[in-house]
Amino acid sequence: MEEKVQATLQSDPLQNWKMRQPLIWRPSNNLSADKQLRIIEHLQQSVNLPDLFGQFTQILATFVNLHSATFISDGNHLHVSVNDNDEGVYHHEVKLNNSASGKLLFCSSHPWQVSEISLLKRFCRLLQIVLPQIEHIAKLQYQLSHDHLTGIKNRQDFDENLSQMIAQNTRIATGLQLLLCDVNHFKQINDQHGHLTGDRILRFVAQTLSSACRETDHVSRYGGDEFAIILCPAQPNSASSVINRINSQLSERLVERNLELSISCGWATWHPGMLSQDLIEAADQAMYRHKIARPIATLAALGL
């Protein structure tokens, strides 16, 4: 029996899973200890949560009459359709516990049999064995690409992304601009108000920059109190538009406090033949010129 399997990840649509050769046994209602071990070994090859859940559903569909399966947990909502030709109207829910968290909702076009419900529970126990491993890998991957203080992307991810965007624009010119921003007199703020206040300012700036950008833009902490925004695709006025949105959002979030905060920004446009360091240097020089001239915005009082 061939099944058409589709997967949708609502929390992160950029991730996807690739179907491997399915494990199929007959008779389908026989789940021996040896087969359970082979299923676990097969699932452990998964590279991320969508891949794991896609493989899990694919195997499960060879044992029970399954229309679709949904996995819901904190920050994740995965749905896999097995048979689009049928209408799934019979549902059964299984809650995960112990080291795994969340719940699974199974849907069938036929009433669930007692033997099928038993298989669902046994399969969920197998999933609970593998799930913590995949979640741990996902956590490590997040830590490798994100700044622990601000929650935005880190310098390593910035370097990789900028190289990719330059390579992409070398093949197909979609426009690429780099925007560099830093907090003026940040050392004095740390000295006068303390490092905890400085940390809150960095988080505030990171949130403001992120909300002022499009989903396709790449916002990262470049280092210290410096931030970088990769605009791709970009038009000649893209950087100016982002600056205007930053100005607007900073002004809207003012609260009376005895703390002055200003941000300087500079940007550069990529041209054929420019390397990563060329674009960074051009944006850095523009930021320095802007810092001398006047900052983007002054927060007479920042709510912290």
Show the tokens assigned to 76: 């994740």
Q: Can you tell me whether residue 251 is helix, strand or coil? A: helix
- Distance from the first to the final alpha carbon of the chain: 60
The dihedral built from the CA positions of residue 271, 273, 278 and 280, taken in this order, carries a sign that is positive
**pLDDT band (50, 70, 90) for residue 290:** confident
Cis amide bond preceding 233, omega within 30: yes
The answer to whether residue 298 scores a pLDDT higher than 60 is no
**Is residue 293's pLDDT more than 90?**
no
Domain with CATH 3.30.70.270 in the chain: 155-299
Q: 287 with 180: CB under 8 angstroms?
A: yes
> Above 50 in pLDDT, residue 301?
no
| 6-144 to CATH, choices 3.30.450, 1.10.357, 3.30.420, 2.60.40 | 3.30.450
Average pLDDT over residues 11-29: 47
Give the residue-averaged pLDDT of 34-44. 93
Alpha-carbon distance of 168 to 216, in angstroms, equals 14
Strand 103-108, strand 226-231: pairing: unpaired
| pLDDT confidence bin for 29, thresholds 50/70/90 | low
* 165-223: pLDDT as tens digits: 999 999 999 999 999 999 988 998 888 888 998 999 999 999 999 999 998 999 999 99
Count Cβ neighbours within 10 Å for each residue of 161-174 and write b for 16 or more, e otherwise: bbeebbeebeeeee
Q: Looking at per-residue confidence, does 229 or 102 come out higher?
A: 229
Strands 103-108 and 76-81: unpaired
Q: Provide the pLDDT confidence category of residue 163 given band limits of 50, 70 and 90.
A: very high
Instruction: Give the mean pLDDT of the chain.
Output: 84
Closest by CA position to 288, among listed 182, 210, 188: 182
Instruction: Please state the pTM of the whole predicted model.
Output: 0.68
Higher pLDDT, 67 or 26: 67
Cα–Cα distance measured from residue 218 to residue 151, given in angstroms and rounded to the nearest whole number: 13
Taking the domain 155-299, which CATH number applies?
3.30.70.270
Find out whether 231 and 169 touch, Cβ atoms under 8 Å: no
The answer to whether 246 and 295 are in contact (CB under 8 A) is no
With 50 as the cut, is the pLDDT of residue 255 above it?
no
